[in-house]
């Protein structure tokens, strides 16, 4: 075997003369960042080129570390475990942090790695370490950046900004600034971007990870602070059109208890339209006794959401943070109960809209019966038939101004129904 540093024959990867902390540091980093094209150490190249598996040269590291006292190798073990995503990293890092001063750059390096290894799977364990960073002065700027990231993720926005500002201030002080591996320019831009992220979490929507497990982990912190967050579970599978039961028609002519409803649709060139708002009024004996209205986050894409925001007259972020269809639709059906659902186009376009929304909410059927005011109008008087069989005509005829929101349109359905009943008398 040859010494990886000087090439003399040796019993170990480093000969007796080369077993020094400086050479360990050099060899460790050469192996850590080893690439056949760029490696300038011929002895390492020779050894590594004999290996076939990717990163197999890293397997040499423990054998090298064993040549040194633990006092010297401890830091490299931390780095090695981290690099290999080895489960021993956490214990090794904590042991290191508990026995070394934080003003040492290596301790700071271990701390940075430890926090980065937790986020975004665990938000509890990094807390005390990030608080330690927030309370410490003159650390490497990377630590302020990672702590700011952490605090922003758990909704501690002021602390996130305070820590990021501390890092930014330090970055600008050529005398005092220290870095683990960032350049000052990159660090400044990372910290500034962090402040933008923090502000977005604070004003638009909190940080929200992709997996259910991670969502549960941050939700705990949001609950404590009263920060609203989207729901945690994944949405149900949508039901195929062929598996959805047809809408049931109501054949009663004098319905006393009912819900008048409206689904507001998003723009689409295809027949498959989504909804962005759904509303109903509950009518008992000609009197509206209750109202329901909710925004729905359009599920077909961002163009739909932009269109919905425009139509609803709200900011895009309001539409973006509206609840998903599978959360709103069950609330709607809980509100309407067993009532007959009445609207212009209740068996036409409104039926299509509510059926599609129900399918996307995982429903296989709608139990309620539907009653179409346009059919009722045509049966009531031939004046409302054929070309005049439209919502617009009825509105004009009864001098009713069209509503803007889904709720106003639902209220108008109630008005139209009562007017048509009286018209026929």
Positions touching Zn ion (CB under 5 A) are 3, 5-6, 15, 18
Q: Which is nearer to Zn ion, 5 or 107 (CB)?
A: 5
User: Nearest-CA neighbor of 391 among 260, 287, 285, 249?
Assistant: 260
Q: Which is nearer to Zn ion, 26 or 248 (CB)?
A: 26
* Longest Cα–Cα distance in the chain: 111
Residue whose tokens read 């002080």:
173
- Comparing CB distances to Zn ion, the nearer of 7 and 348 is 7
Least distance from Zn ion to the Cβ atom of residue 175, Å: 39
**CA-closest candidate to residue 142, choices 185, 105, 187:** 187
| CB of residue 16 to Zn ion, shortest distance in Å | 8
- For the bound state, the minimum distance from the C-beta of residue 48 to Zn ion, rounded and expressed in Å, comes to 17
Rank residues 5 and 380 by Cβ distance to Zn ion and give the closer one. 5
Shortest approach of Zn ion to residue 82 CB, angstroms?
A: 27
Say how far apart CA 356 and CA 41 lie, in whole Å: 65
24 vs 164 by CB, closer to Zn ion? 24
Residue 91 to residue 97: CA distance in whole angstroms: 10
CB nearer to Zn ion: give 10 or 296.
10
Q: How far apart are CA 178 and CA 105, in angstroms?
A: 9
Contacts of the segment 183-192: beta carbons below 8 A, 24+ positions apart: 184/141, 187/141, 187/142, 187/145, 190/145, 191/141, 191/144, 191/145, 191/148, 191/164, 191/167, 192/168
User: Least CB distance from residue 64 to Zn ion, whole Å?
Assistant: 12
Distances (CA, A) of 166 to 10, 135, 232, 339: 50, 11, 34, 60
CB of 70 to Zn ion, least distance (A): 22
């Amino acid at each position: 075997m040859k010494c990886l540093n000087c090439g003399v024959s040796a019993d170990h990867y480093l000969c007796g003369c080369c077993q020094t902390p400086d050479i360990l540091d050099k060899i460790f980093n050469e192996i850590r960042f080893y690439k056949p094209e760029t490696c300038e150490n011929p002895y390492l190249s020779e050894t590594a080129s004999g290996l076939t598996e990717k990163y197999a040269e890293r397997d040499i590291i423990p054998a090298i570390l064993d040549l040194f006292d633990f006092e010297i190798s401890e830091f490299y073990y931390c780095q090695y475990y981290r690099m290999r995503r080895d489960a021993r990293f956490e214990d090794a890092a904590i042991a290191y942090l508990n026995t070394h001063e934080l003003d040492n750059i290596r301790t700071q390096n271990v701390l940075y790695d430890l926090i980065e290894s937790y986020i975004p799977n665990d938000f509890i364990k990094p807390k005390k370490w990030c608080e330690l960073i927030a309370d410490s002065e003159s650390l490497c700027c990377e630590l302020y950046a990672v702590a700011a990231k952490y605090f922003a993720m758990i909704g501690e926005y002021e602390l996130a900004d305070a820590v990021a500002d501390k890092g930014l201030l330090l970055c600008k002080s050529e005398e005092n600034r220290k870095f683990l591996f960032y350049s000052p320019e990159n660090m400044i831009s990372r910290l500034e971007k962090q402040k933008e992220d923090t502000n977005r979490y604070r004003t638009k929507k909190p940080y929200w990870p992709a997996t259910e497990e991670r969502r549960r982990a941050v939700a705990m912190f949001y609950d404590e602070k009263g920060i609203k967050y989207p729901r945690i579970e994944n949405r149900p599978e949508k039901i195929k059109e062929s598996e959805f039961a047809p809408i049931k028609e109501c054949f009663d002519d004098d319905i006393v208890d009912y819900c008048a409803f409206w689904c507001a649709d998003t723009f689409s060139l295809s027949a498959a339209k989504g909804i962005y708002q759904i509303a109903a009024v509950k009518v008992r004996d000609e009197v509206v006794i209750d109202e329901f209205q909710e925004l729905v986050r359009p599920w077909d894409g961002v163009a739909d959401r932009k269109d919905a925001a425009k139509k609803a007259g709200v900011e895009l972020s309001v539409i973006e943070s509206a609840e998903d269809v599978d959360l709103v639709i069950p609330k709607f059906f809980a509100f309407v109960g067993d009532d007959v659902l009445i609207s212009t186009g209740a068996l036409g376009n409104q039926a299509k809209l509510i059926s599609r929304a129900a399918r996307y909410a995982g429903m296989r059927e709608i139990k309620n019966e539907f009653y179409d005011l346009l059919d009722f109008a045509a049966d009531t008087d031939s004046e409302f038939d054929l070309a005049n069989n439209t919502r617009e005509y009825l509105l004009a005829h009864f001098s009713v101004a069209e509503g803007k929101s889904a709720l106003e349109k639902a209220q108008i359905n109630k008005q139209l129904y009562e007017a048509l009943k009286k018209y026929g008398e």
